[in-house]
């Protein structure tokens, strides 16, 4: 075909455009999007949730990240019991998962604990919560354009479906895509990682056929495998027996019998470059490389880990797990120092004690916050530019290392919970999201049992205080 023929091409989609109007539009049904949609709908708003897959859960389900991290404090004591830190929607979701048989009791993860979930149960629990709250859910719908008015006001999106495009107009739009897709589409400022380099993606997988009791007896109950396993990997890599690019591996028992969830792979490009999943070529390469590495790790486990001799890969993620892509540029950016210093804010709407868990280089780096926590202020979700638009979830405004702590599931639930309330205040009171007071959001969260506590007297809005 000659190149000149392209001149005759024009864009066509002759299917009719469908129209929908809603008060609050949530794009993305991960932990943050589900929490935001349910919270706004519980406050008697008409809410529509648009999700590209046929189920909710995002990184936790399609990416099979597999555990709810971030619910507990961290301690140096090896005998410490799980000490709950995060309440509200995150705890409600966890309780419902437990009631449905889809969540383990706390599993030790270094100096803290996490809860391992069944991704199928996650989907059903989310379905039920959304239905009970009266959220209109549009699955298999990919937001492809934003509707913009006067340069900066976002009034909804257009979404691709097999039926044709949907034009969804909204009084307030929440970007819970994880990737800040709507901000990028609207041309609003975003940032990406450390000088454009993001944490590497991981292909999560599950192995079945494991004798879990024997595995635990041999390797202990901490999901972070000990140095003996890491040394074996390094030694056998050097001998050319395996190609295992990450020596520190995390293996979790799950609510299903005979199963381990495996967070092991480290995916980089064939030419050694770090892959960025919003680059189409990188995303494709990551999927293929991820599946290859999953098979190689599963072979190593079969050959060398007690209890895994007869195991096999049961499943990999629907997509490679994406830790980090774009962050919005917010009115406040969560600084690395806010995390390390355990800062609390008058407008704090979520708490975290999760370590900075940086997946870059050959070994994930963990920096713990012991017996303390930090807060994430409302302004991290309010864009510097752009109206009628809020962010929720891992695309919050945060520096690179801060994001490596603030991105886990319990916190993403908390962000969605907060932003659902902020949306309700904005729509009910007819104020711009940037004029919603973070202290009012905090109070609304506490009425739902978030237990954030009283606002420190000395702080001014957005300024850190030493301690509450």
107 touches 67 (CB < 8 A) = yes
Sign of the CA dihedral with 217 first, then 241, 309, and 319 last? positive
Cα–Cα–Cα angle for 323, 324, 328, rounded to 5 degrees? 140
Q: Are strands 67-68 and 112-116 parallel, antiparallel or unpaired?
A: antiparallel
CB of 280 to ligand FAD, least distance (A): 14
CB of 115 to ligand FAD, least distance (A): 9
3-state secondary structure of 136: strand
Q: How far is the CB of 2 from ligand FAD (least distance, A)?
A: 35
Q: Which is nearer to ligand FAD, 140 or 214 (CB)?
A: 140
Closer residue to ligand FAD (CB): 22 or 202 = 202
Q: How many CA atoms lie within 13 A of 434 on its CB side?
A: 12
Whichever of 57 and 464 has its CB closer to ligand FAD, that residue is 57
169: tokens are: 């107009």
The β-bridge partners of 458 are none
Burial of 161 (0-12, 13-18, 19+ CB in 10 A): middle
Q: How far is the CB of 100 from ligand FAD (least distance, A)?
A: 18
For strands 260-263 and 18-27, give the pairing: unpaired
Distance from CA of residue 73 to its chain's centroid? 19
Chain centroid, CA 156 distance in Å: 22
Smaller CB separation from ligand FAD, 26 or 455: 26
In the bound state with ligand FAD, the residue whose beta carbon lies nearer, of 28 and 355, is: 28
Query: Measuring CA to CA, which residue among 5, 346, 333, 15 is closest to residue 162?
Result: 15
Of residues 104 and 263, the one with the C-beta less far from ligand FAD: 263
Instruction: Please provide the DSSP assignment of 261-328 as one string.
Output: EEE----B-TTSPBP-TTSHHHHHHHHHHHHHHHHHHHHHHHHHSTT-TT-EEEEE-SS-B----EEE
Q: State both tokens at 399.
A: 């520096």
Would you say 2 and 151 are in contact if contact means Cβ atoms under 8 Å apart?
Answer: no
Query: Looking at beta carbons only, is 66 or 348 nearer to ligand FAD?
Result: 66
What single DSSP character describes residue 84? Answer: B
Closest CA to 184 of 27, 25, 59, 328: 328
As measured in angstroms, the least distance from the Cβ of 68 to ligand FAD is 5
Decide whether 215 or 354 has the Cβ nearer to ligand FAD.
354
**Cα 136 to Cα 48: distance, rounded to the nearest angstrom:** 5
Angle at 108 between CA 58 and CA 367, to 5 degrees: 75
Instruction: Tell me the CB-side half-sphere exposure of residue 101, using CA atoms within 13 A.
Output: 2
Nearer to ligand FAD, 391 or 455 (CB): 391
Nearest approach, Cβ of residue 416 and ligand FAD (Å): 7
Q: Tell me how long the chain is.
A: 468
| Of residues 249 and 459, the one with the C-beta less far from ligand FAD | 249
Axis-axis angle for helices 31-42, 119-133 (nearest 10): 20
**Please, what is the minimum distance in Å from the beta carbon of residue 5 to ligand FAD?**
31
- Residues within the interface to ligand FAD (CB under 6 A): 27-33, 50-53, 58-60, 63, 65-70, 114, 142-143, 176-179, 181, 202, 204, 263, 321-323, 393-394, 407-409, 412
The nearer residue to ligand FAD, 322 or 436, going by C-beta atoms, is: 322
């Amino acid at each position: 075909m000659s190149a000149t023929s392209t001149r005759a091409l024009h864009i066509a989609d002759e299917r009719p455009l469908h129209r929908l109007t809603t008060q609050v539009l949530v794009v993305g049904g991960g932990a943050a999007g589900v929490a935001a949609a349910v919270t706004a709908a519980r406050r008697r708003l008409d809410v529509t949730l648009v999700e590209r897959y046929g189920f909710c859960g995002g990184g936790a389900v399609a990416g099979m990240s597999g555990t709810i991290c971030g619910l507990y404090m961290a301690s140096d004591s090896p005998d410490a019991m799980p000490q709950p830190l995060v309440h509200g929607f995150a705890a409600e979701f966890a309780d419902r998962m437990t009631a449905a048989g889809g969540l383990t009791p706390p599993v030790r993860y270094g100096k803290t604990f996490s809860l391992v979930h069944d991704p199928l149960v996650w989907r059903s629990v989310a379905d039920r919560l959304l239905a009970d709250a009266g959220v209109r859910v549009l699955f298999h719908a990919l937001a492809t354009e934003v509707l913009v008015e006067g340069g900066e006001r976002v009034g909804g999106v257009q979404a691709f479906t097999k039926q044709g495009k949907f034009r969804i107009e909204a009084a307030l739009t929440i970007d819970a895509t994880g990737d800040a897709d709507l901000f990028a589409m609207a041309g609003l400022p975003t940032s990406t990682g450390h000088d454009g380099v993001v944490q590497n993606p991981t292909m999560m997988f599950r192995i079945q056929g494991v004798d879990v009791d024997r595995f635990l007896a041999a390797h202990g109950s901490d999901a972070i495998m000990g140095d003996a396993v890491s040394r074996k990997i390094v030694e056998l890599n050097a001998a050319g027996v395996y190609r295992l690019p990450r020596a520190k591996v995390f293996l979790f028992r799950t609510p299903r019998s005979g199963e381990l969830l495996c967070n092991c792979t480290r995916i980089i490009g064939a030419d050694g470059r770090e892959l960025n999943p919003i680059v189409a070529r990188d995303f494709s390469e990551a999927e293929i490389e991820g599946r290859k590495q999953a098979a190689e790790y599963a072979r190593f486990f079969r050959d060398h880990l007690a209890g895994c001799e007869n195991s096999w890969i049961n499943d990999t993620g629907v997509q490679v797990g994406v830790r980090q892509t774009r962050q919005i540029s917010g009115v406040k950016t969560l600084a690395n120092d806010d995390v390390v210093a355990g800062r609390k804010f008058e407008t704090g709407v979520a708490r975290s004690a999760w370590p900075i868990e940086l997946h870059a280089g050959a070994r994930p780096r963990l920096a713990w916050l012991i017996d303390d926590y930090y807060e994430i202020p409302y302004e991290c979700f309010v864009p510097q530019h752009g109206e009628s638009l809020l962010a929720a979830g891992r695309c919050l405004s945060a520096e690179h290392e801060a994001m490596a702590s603030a991105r886990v599931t319990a916190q993403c639930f908390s962000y969605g919970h907060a932003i659902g309330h902020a949306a309700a205040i904005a729509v009910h009171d007819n104020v711009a999201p940037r004029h919603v007071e973070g202290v009012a959001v905090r109070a609304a969260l506490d009425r739902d049992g978030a237990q954030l506590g009283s606002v420190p007297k000395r702080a001014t809005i957005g300024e850190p205080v030493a301690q509450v």
